[in-house]
């Protein structure tokens, strides 16, 4: 059976420093899983053009991790410039639709969201954090449905399609999926529906 290992990556070093987490600890977690293939938050077009439109951790250590261990890296991300523009607008839409009391509740939820991520044994890699990420996006989806559908739902569906394509071509392999922390709940939910896939989360 093909195994999908999901790792929630955090973009930005300050949070990881606060959590006393570093790249070597991430590498140790990867090695415990023992991937045959790595799928990551890089678009195919950016790999082909050598443009760095992806999180800094790829150039910092993930590409070298794959190269040094002779593990194929498959870019699986999907987004467009229009979606990036809409993401910035979504915050304004959400604020306008929530109202003062809703904003206060949103702030409390976001504080809980961050605290849960920080307190996870592997930062931002836990079912409890995934539950809060799912709740966060449910709220965003209710209050800015059209925008959130474009910037989040469509993107995640395309990413899942890309990863399923890799899994179909590589049966009985261990595939490590590395994306930003808020994507993980979606991947765990979707891949757990597939009887041909076994999901490992956290690593």
* Contact criterion met (CB below 8 Å) for 13 and 191: no
* Cα separation, 151 vs 157, whole angstroms: 11
- In this predicted structure, the answer to whether residue 16 has a pLDDT above a threshold of 90 is no
Whats the size of the chain, residue-wise? 203
Cis peptide before 202 (omega within 30 of 0): yes
CA-based nearest residue to 10, from 199, 187, 184, 179: 179
pLDDT at 95: 79
- In this predicted structure, the answer to whether residue 195 has a pLDDT above a threshold of 80 is yes
At 47, the pLDDT band (50, 70, 90 cuts) reads confident
Average pLDDT of the residues of the chain: 93
pLDDT at 58: 96
pLDDT at 163: 98
- In this predicted structure, the answer to whether residue 12 has a pLDDT above a threshold of 80 is no
- When computed from its CA atoms, the radius of gyration of the chain, rounded to whole angstroms, is 17
3-state secondary structure of 170: coil
DSSP 79: -
Other beta carbons within 10 angstroms of residue 33's beta carbon come to 16
- The domain segmentation of the chain, as residue ranges, is 2-200
At 43, the pLDDT band (50, 70, 90 cuts) reads very high
Model pTM score:
0.95
Please give the residue that has the higher pLDDT: either 103 or 178: 178
* Cα separation, 68 vs 60, whole angstroms: 13
Record the tokens describing residue 17, joined without a space: 């420093």
The average pLDDT across 51-77 equals 95
What residues have CB less than 8 Å from 76, skipping those under 6 apart? 39, 40, 41, 42, 159, 162, 163, 166, 177
Per-residue model confidence as pLDDT tens digits over 163-187: 999 999 999 999 999 999 999 999 9
């Amino acid at each position: 059976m093909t195994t999908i290992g999901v790792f929630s990556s955090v973009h930005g070093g300050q949070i990881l420093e606060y959590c006393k987490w570093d790249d070597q600890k991430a590498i140790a977690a990867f090695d415990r899983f023992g991937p045959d293939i790595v799928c990551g938050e890089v678009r195919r077009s950016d790999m082909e053009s050598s443009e760095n439109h992806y999180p800094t951790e790829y150039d910092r250590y993930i590409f070298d991790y794959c190269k040094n261990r002779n593990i194929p890296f498959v870019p699986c991300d999907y987004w467009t410039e229009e979606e990036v523009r809409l993401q910035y607008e979504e915050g304004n839409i959400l604020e306008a639709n929530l109202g003062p009391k809703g904003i206060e509740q949103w702030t409390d939820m976001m504080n809980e969201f961050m605290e849960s991520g920080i307190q996870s044994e592997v930062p931002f890699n836990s079912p409890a954090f995934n539950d809060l990420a799912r709740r966060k996006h449910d709220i965003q989806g209710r209050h800015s449905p059209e925008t959130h559908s474009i910037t989040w739902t469509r993107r995640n569906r395309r990413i899942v399609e890309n990863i399923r394509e890799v899994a179909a071509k590589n049966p009985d392999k261990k595939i490590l999926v590395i994306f930003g922390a808020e994507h993980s709940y979606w991947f765990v939910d979707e891949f757990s529906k597939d009887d041909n896939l076994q999901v490992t989360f956290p690593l």
